[in-house]
Amino acid sequence: MIPPPKFVGDLTDLPTHAFGHRSLTWWGVVAFFMIEGAAFAMAFAAYFFLITGEQSWPPAPYRPPDLLAGTLFTLIMLASEIPNTRLKRAAEKKDLRSVRIGLLIMTAVCIPLFVLRGFEFASLNVWWTDNAYGSIMWALLFLHLTHFATDFVDTVVLACLVNTRHAAEDRRMVDVAENAMYWRFVWLLWLPIYFMLYWIPRL
């Protein structure tokens, strides 16, 4: 038999949303960080494993990738954290007007990044079919592209969503804040990749 209930407390007055680690969404996003982080960690391991099979990195006669596109990409990524932080704070303050503008800025920031990413592929100076070095260089750049494109789509969807009636619900602000957190992960992960693609071949 199920023992009869004894009422010891009431939950009616609890809030229905919160930011950061108090919310379920945050934990879902962090779990996806761990998954993606693990995948990138393994790709990094593969990169260093393949270095051990070469006399030089890049193997002769290949030249290291050209610096310009990747460096510009990195600088814009780093600079994007300023509007990103403002967006996250606006979401936490539930300042809908600033959130709308912030999401448009973050969407706009991605356009030159996509163009530069195209130039990055062109400036690798090796094809993925040439050798294992070329394969892992393309793989790292491609994996980060999918990572970055995922967040771009999420940002565009949120930019549309905050202009509908659903924006009235405060939970949408939690979504915007978590998306801003995801963007930090996107550029943080890029820094070691930038180093591995452009600078380790120059060491």
Partner 1 sequence: MSVMSGKELPRDGRDLEGTELHERLEKTWGTPPGLWAWISTVDHKRISKRYIVTALIFMLLGGILSLVMRVQLATPESGLITPDRYNQLFTMHGTTMMFLFAVPVMEAMAVFLVPLMIGTRAISFPRLNAFSYWIYLAGGVLLWVAFILNIGPDAGWFAYVPLSGPEYSPGKRTDIWAQMVTFTEVAALAVSVELVATILKQRAPGMTLSRMPLFVWVSLVTSFMVIFSMPSVALTSGFLLSDRLVGTQFFNPYEHGDALLWQHLFWFFGHPEVYIIFLPGVGFVSHIVETFCRRSVLFYPAMVLAVVSIGLLAFGLWVHHMFATGLPRLGYAFYTAASMAVAIPSGVQVFCWIATMWDGRPRFDTPLLYVVGFIFTFVIGGLTGVMLASVPLDLQLHDTYFVVAHFHYVLIGGAVFPLLGAFTYWFPKFTGRMMSERMGKWTFWTLFLGFQLAFAPMHWSGILGMPRRVYTYPAGLGLEQTNMLSTVGAFAFAAGLFMFLENAAVSLRRRANAGSNPWDASGLEWAVSSPPASYNFAHIPVVSSRTPLWDNRDHLPVMTGLRVDDRELLITTVMEAKPDLREPSPVPTAWPLIAAIATTAMFIASIFTPWAVVVGAVPTAAALIAWFWPKGPETPEPVIQ
Least CB distance to partner 1 at residue 28 (A): 6
Least CB distance to partner 1 at residue 49 (A): 5
Closest CB to partner 1 among residues 7, 203: 7
Cα dihedral sign, 104-71-42-132: positive
For residues 19 to 58, the per-residue mask of contacts with partner 1, x marking binding by CB under 8 A and - elsewhere, is --xxxx--xx--xx-xxx-xx--xx-xx--xx--xx----
Least CB distance to partner 1 at residue 132 (A): 4
Tokens for 115, please give them.
């163009």
Which residues have a Cβ under 8 Å from the Cβ of 148 and sit 6 or more positions away?
110, 113, 117, 186, 190
Which residues have a Cβ under 8 Å from the Cβ of 185 and sit 6 or more positions away?
33, 36
Closest CB to partner 1 among residues 83, 120: 120
Q: Which of 155, 140, 147 is nearest to 70 (CA)?
A: 140
| Distance between CA atoms of residues 118 and 92, nearest Å | 34
Residue 172 in the binding site for partner 1 (CB under 8 A): yes
Place of tokens 């932080």: 85
List the one residue from 85, 170, 181, 200 that touches partner 1 (CB under 8 A). 170
Residue 161 in the binding site for partner 1 (CB under 8 A): yes
Tokens for 69, please give them.
């596109």
Q: Footprint of partner 1 on residues 175-194 (CB under 8 A)?
A: none
Binding site for partner 1 (CB under 8 A): 1-18, 21-24, 27-28, 31-32, 34-36, 38-39, 42-43, 45-46, 49-50, 53-54, 59, 128-136, 138-139, 153, 157, 161, 165-166, 168-172
